[in-house]
Structure 1
Amino acid sequence: MGVTLPSAVIVRTLADTPIADLPALLVPALGETLAMVGIVMLVVVLAGTPTAVCLHNMAPGGLFENKAVYGVLSWIVNIGRSLPFLVLMAAIVPFTRFVTGTNIGIAAAVVPMSLAGIPFFARLVENCLREVPRSVTQAARASGGSPLQIIRSAQLGEAFPAILGGLTINTIAMIEYSAIAGTIGAGGIGYVAVTYGYQRFDQTVMIATVVLLIALVTAVQLLGDGLVRATTPHLRRR
């Protein structure tokens, strides 16, 4: 007497993608994810670092203390950090369409990802700058360094290993956001997971995308940890 399988199990089994076909599906998706995250992180670093420097040095005791401007800038950064990415992505669709001419694809994903990543990275870098001993800045001032020289050498230079750690955290967050951006047709691993894995009940694709995301995040974390060790004197000697 044969065993009758539930219809849902039969459909799912027939729909599962053969393992041999996964590379053709996942490799392009991985490339799209890396492109998205790479473009976003370039924007995040270029915009987030100056923002963090301004926050740190406009705060009480900073190089160019200005409580009013600091309060406004800090308030804007807090708003950017407060919105969940999915809500932000949906809320700025008209702005994204105005900037990129579309609300789908990699270009459309870069705008909300950048707006979410800049304030996050700015706060991370600001916290790193706060950890630099004030005596370092005072010594640079006493030696006649200009504000730009103090920021570059005494502040960013001393905080560089910690900033690399923050950059690692931010990059991993952007990988997660890129997966969410897949819901608007941005491409990448998230799009494959939603379109092929979830909507088509393809467990092979779903498991493969999860494993790929874990591997990607792990690789970024290991690379970031290695760079932090290489730039931290007392860790480099170990």
Structure 2
Amino acid sequence: MKCVQSNELDFSGQNIYVGIDVHLKSWSVAILSEHSVLKRFSQSPEPEALHKYLVNNYPGANYYSVYEAGFCGFWIHEKLMDLGITNIVVNPADVPTMGKEKLRKTDAVDCNKLARELRSGSLEGIYVPKADVLEMRSLIRMRNLIVKDSTRAKNRIKSLLRFHGVEIPKEFTRCSIGCWSKRFLSWLQALELSTEYGKKTLELHLEQFIRLRKMLLQETRAIREISRSTVRQTYTVADICSGYRCYNCRYPDGRD
């Protein structure tokens, strides 16, 4: 009977720790075992590529990974978890850093630091909201941006009038009565400046403001619709509106 030697890799029962320094066009990756640094490399920004590398080179192992919260959000976390890699997302300020790592800050150093601290158990992952909650927050964030843009548009119109010496009638200067009402907008649209160029400039400013006002109305209606839906029975207001003002949302117990 002949003995056949097997050259297949088997990391069953072993833990593999992966630190990922995430960037737009590439990721810097450090892979550590319990006692040594196994590999450091750069790869395309794709969770599938990382998973394929781990499975091919460390089959059967338990995979643990970490990356810092930032511009990329949480889709990478969701994808890694779906692929069977236990991942956490950490606050960059919470990652222990040695003095030499502060002086020599590179992508390779950062990913190695993340993998090392993940292995030591010193990292605590932040809360990762579900995808639908994140998209609800994006809707509220968009409304806040439109409000700011609308305020800027108003200020530009007022500045244009002041620059050309146009005085706004007193009936429109009291916001509680007529400021930015339909009558005020009609007055602005009928206003004649010295030349056609000034008139055209004012028209463009007004078009921008009116467009923003319509967008703001659409956003507010969408948020109100969400607040009246079954979403409030599933998530708390703190989940959906964390960091943002909530418009006509209700608490699970029915409070506004």
TM-score (norm 2): 0.21
| Between structures 1 and 2, the one with greater helix share | 1
Higher relative contact order (CA 8 A, sep 6+): 1
Which of the two has higher C-alpha Rg?
Answer: 2
More strand by share: 2
Query: If the length of structure 1 is used for normalisation, what is the TM-score?
Result: 0.22
